[in-house]
Amino acid sequence: MDFIKKNYEKIVLGLVLAGLVGALVFMLFYINSDRQEMDDKRVSLTSPKVTPLTNLDLTIHDAVFARMRSPHVLDFETGNKVFNPMEWQKGPDGMPIRHDNVGPRACVVTNITPLFMVITFDSLTTNELGVARYALKVEKQGAATAAKRRPQQRFISLGDKPNDFFSLVEVKGAPENPESFLIKLVDTGDTVTVSSAKENPYRRVDGYTASFRYDLERKTFVNRRVGDKVTFGGTDYVVSEINQNELILADQTNQKKTSLTYSPAP
């Protein structure tokens, strides 16, 4: 007891110091623990754990886009009569007939025939100088007049100036017995080959003729060419254009053009 009494202040001071040391040690662990807790909260707030989403079902959306790429087309002209009522007019016999059965749309194309330019080797002669001269026959079926459609003969030798149809570029084979001729056409500038065999001439499509009928008046038009005039339904028309599968008629009153398709029988 005497020791305690004599060293009371030292003992209290020692206990206080021990408590302070213990508090300091505890604070170190507490601060580390608090810092770790704050770091964990920061990580959880800034980088939360996200559960991956499952694959989305886009079937409905894909179907909508597919329908948008292939829209449904509504025909308000040919089959629908609400917005475009059927037109009728009086026919030649006084009976009403549909408007689309009258005029150029009612024509039926029965045939389209090509018109050729045909170049055929005809004969060979030799002049007094021994130069071979070749006679080639030219037939232009698509010419504007009948006189120009008849075959026309042209004589030419190598080195001659071009005639109104062609110039001679080269003779293949012996000059006195040629196999073929290389000629340059004046109208197109094309270089083509004409065989010396008469049964195998050069042929080029230069145009077409068309045959068609107008059943309402029982009229038939045969082998009409571009520029020909025809009359039916009380109106004059001009054959504006003919190609392999089409005939175009132009109304002389308003220049309106009507296209008629030709579908050859199989």
Q: What is the pLDDT of residue 84?
A: 60
For residue 188, give the DSSP letter: T
| Residue whose C-alpha is closest to residue 246's, from 212, 216, 221, 205 | 212
> What DSSP element (H or E) covers 123?
strand 108-126
- Which two tokens mark 11? 């003992």
Contact 202, 194 (CB under 8 A): yes
The dihedral region occupied by 94, where left means phi > 0, alpha psi between -120 and 50, and beta the remainder, is left
Q: What is the pLDDT of residue 182?
A: 96
Residue 74 three-state SS? coil
User: What residues does 236 pair with on adjacent strands?
Assistant: 231
Q: Give the separation between CA 234 and CA 226, rounded to whole angstroms.
A: 21
Q: Which residue has the tokens 């010396």?
A: 196
Whether pTM exceeds 0.85: no
Q: What is the pLDDT of residue 184?
A: 96
The dihedral region occupied by 223, where left means phi > 0, alpha psi between -120 and 50, and beta the remainder, is left
> What DSSP element (H or E) covers 166?
strand 166-174
Q: What is the pLDDT of residue 80?
A: 61
- Residue 47 dihedral angles phi and psi, to the nearest 5°: -130, 70
Cα dihedral 111, 112, 115, 116 sign: negative
Q: What is the pLDDT of residue 40?
A: 76
pLDDT digit string (tens) for the chain, length 266 residues: 666 666 667 767 777 777 777 777 777 777 788 788 887 777 777 766 777 778 888 888 888 888 888 877 777 666 666 666 666 666 666 777 666 667 888 899 999 999 999 999 999 998 777 889 999 999 999 998 989 999 999 999 999 999 999 999 999 999 989 999 999 999 999 999 999 999 999 999 999 999 999 988 889 999 999 999 999 988 999 999 999 999 999 999 999 999 999 988 76
CA 190 vs CA 142, 148, 149, 165, 171: distances in Å? 18, 21, 21, 12, 16
To 5 degrees, how large is the angle CA 155–CA 171–CA 174? 110
Helices (H), 47-91: 59-69
Q: What is the pLDDT of residue 44?
A: 73
The identity of residue 258, as a single letter, is T
Q: Give the separation between CA 191 and CA 186, rounded to whole angstroms.
A: 9
